Amino acid sequence: MKNRTYGIAGVIVLLLFLNLNIKGESLNLTGYVRNYTGMLLHDVNDFSILQNTFNLNLEHSKGKIAFKVNPYIYDYQNKDLELGLRQAYIDIFFNSMDIRIGKQQIIWGKADGVFITDVISPKDLREFLLPEFDEIRMGITAVKVDYYIGNSTLELVWVPVFSPTMMPEADSIWNPGFDLPLQPQFDYSRQEVQESLKNSEVFFKYSTVSSAIDLEFMAGYMWDDDPTMHTVKNIDPVTMQPESITIIPQHHRLGLAGGSFSTTIGGYVIRGEGAYYFGKYFLSEDPGIEEAVVEKDYLQYLIGVDFTLMDIKMSVQFIQQYILDYDDPIVNDRAENMMTFLATKDFLRETLILELFSYIGLNDGDALIRGKVKYKLTDELEILLGANIFTGTEGMFGQYNKNDMVYAKVKYSF
């Protein structure tokens, strides 16, 4: 109840601030109010989500200075009110350089629905991959400098304090759990990354645009947003079976280098993206490996094509993650392959939109199929009906095969 009280107080302060400043000529206020209701299709048709959202964008500019503040409120059924800031930053503009300071979402790469070089903003995975991507990407406090040279841009990002992925709560239907013979205990003593200069993250990108091709090259020295689950088993010397299991989440340093491109050939847009990761920790089933983790480099890449067929906008992507110097006891496959498929068609002067998006896991034969229908009653009011269907019994999507759902969203934008 205390969090809800603080949240309501924050809303009141925000509204008072807006009331005092809304008359500024260059103040731009936009946002939306949304109801989001989802229902599971299995068992007793429980609600998967009951959420009301208030999202606000407040932007102001004067001369060579601008700022943006993006507060949001999530009101979940039977939970405390969640009040947060997705973005809150200041822009400073020069003749050939821009500087952005504060909490911001940073999006890199050419991929749709996957994260390869798009690694700066951590992810909110409390509802898996189902929210909109501007809600999955979390804002991160950073200093971003863009330096322009003709059609090229040099971009430098410094992140002083590490922010991890937000994972599902223990009682969430999106908590995948652990495939272990015993209920594990957790030791969180190593999970926190100390706030210090040496623990900051830095990223660099060079991008250039021409009539023939768009190119990006990037590098980063970062922390793995997802913790490695180090596992310690206490083995009974007689039965050789575990008496207890302790899981120790720990974030590790990662280096990476990669790039992306897009080009148009006839009526087709060809996209590619790839990154080489240095020093990723993977789970291992080798009993001789300390804490059941091994350090390996891996490569992740994507090739995609966008085109239009019979007035249907379509996109197909192939994604592969490949572990180098592979050992057979590693839990992950040497090569993990996935495809995505997107088809979109609009009707009635773009007031009715049909969309189908699918993730397809090629190794385990699992998939997430997402269909939705969106209808704009007015420029401000829209209704969206959709379904999320999980297939298979194993893999990233098959583990959620009991979470099939239908949902509805009613959204008013202003």
Kindly report, residue by residue over 336-383, the tens digit of the pLDDT: 999 999 999 999 999 999 999 999 999 999 999 999 999 999 999 999
Domain boundary assignment for the chain? 1-85, 94-338, 348-414
- Give the Cα separation of 156 and 108 in Å (integer): 12
- Please state which architecture CATH assigns to domain 94-338: Beta Barrel (2.40)
pLDDT for residue 264: 97
pLDDT for residue 276: 98
pLDDT for residue 103: 98
Answer yes or no: same fold for 94-338 and 348-414: no
Convert 103-116 to b/e letters by CB count within 10 Å (16 or more is b). bbbbebbbbebbbb
How far lies 151's CA from each of 210, 273, 301, in Å? 7, 20, 26
- Any alpha helices (H) in 183-228, and if so which ranges? none
This prediction's pTM: 0.90
Least confident piece of the model among 23-32, 120-129, 365-374? 23-32
Band (1; pLDDT cuts 50, 70, 90): very low
Band (2; pLDDT cuts 50, 70, 90): very low
Q: For 237-262, what is the mean pLDDT?
A: 91
pLDDT for residue 95: 94
- Phi, psi of 397, deg, nearest 5: -100, -35
Question: Mean of the per-residue pLDDT values for the chain?
Answer: 92
| Whether the Cβ atoms of residue 230 and residue 247 lie closer than 8 Å to each other | yes
| Token code pair at residue 287 | 């009993």
Beta-strand relationship, 293-309 and 312-323: antiparallel
Q: Is the pLDDT of residue 270 over 90?
A: yes
Contacts of residue 39, Cβ cutoff 8 Å, sequence gap at least 6: 45, 46, 47, 48, 405, 406, 407
Band (178; pLDDT cuts 50, 70, 90): confident
3-class secondary structure, 322: strand
- Please state which architecture CATH assigns to domain 348-414: 2-Layer Sandwich (3.30)
Q: Residue 123 carries which DSSP code?
A: B
